[in-house]
Structure 1
Amino acid sequence: MSPQDSTEPTSGPSRRTLLVAGAGTALGVTVVAGCGGGGSGTATDTPTPSGGGSTGLAKVSDVPVGGAVSAQTADGKPVIVAQPKAGDIVAFSAICTHMGCTVAPQGDILKCPCHGSTYDLATGDNTGGPAPSPLAKIDVLVKGGEVVQA
């Protein structure tokens, strides 16, 4: 007798519910993994500093000239630290102004993986896609080779 033919009540979710939920979880993990920083060494990847935390957002030496890295504030908020020109360090919130996805460095631009919005890495201004406004600027300064919030 198959489970559909059973007259006994079933307990817990159905097999279909579990399969759908499992697929959704797998997609969520894929999306989260896709939003992370460098690691594969391709031309468009930029390193994600392991530093940050309460002492700093990133080491200046980890931020490529003409590029950017993903980082986090001490309270875990995602940020972008960029060095558009040698010695010129800027930072922005990494939260896309369109739908709140996490923006990541991609070569010489900042790009949202969700809907394709792009931002200028020197100014945070939106340069394409559906984002309605620029990324929020974060005041930073360099102390002892570390980029810290001002």
Structure 2
Amino acid sequence: MRPVVFSIYHNRFEKMNSGSMNSGDGEMGMGASGEGKTAGQPLSDFLLHLEDYSPTIPDAVTAFYLQTAGFETTDPRIIRLVSLAAQKFVSDVANDALQHCKTRGASQTSKTSKGKDRRYTLTMEDLTPALADYGITVKKPHYFV
């Protein structure tokens, strides 16, 4: 159900941009039905959809970290918006780490994984360069034996 919400907004944004660029009538966001939309209408629609959205990161966790950082809000839509942004950030970092793992694994060919689907493991070796792309430096701790 969650990807549908994203695709609805993606398609609406494309329709709004293509309608305003191609129509030439000066109305911003003139849709196929002929109704004009203001510049803030897609944002208010998005905020209305956030009320029904349940993010992967729970609201209580996001609210705790927002409160720890000194941010106070009573609007649950703001908390869900921050949860959605955090979810996208984690997803982007995980995807980048997977790409690093695939490129590193492409140079190392193993005989056991040629015929079957390969399983990938998230390691610090892959996560460190993915986080470095976002300006986050991760250093391995010193291990004492």
Larger strand share, 1 or 2 = 1
Instruction: Give 1 or 2 for the bigger CA radius of gyration.
Output: 2
Whether TM-score is above 0.5 comes out as: no
Structure possessing the higher relative contact order (Cα contacts under 8 Å, 6 or more residues apart): 1
Larger helix share, 1 or 2 = 2
Q: TM-score, normalised by structure 2?
A: 0.23
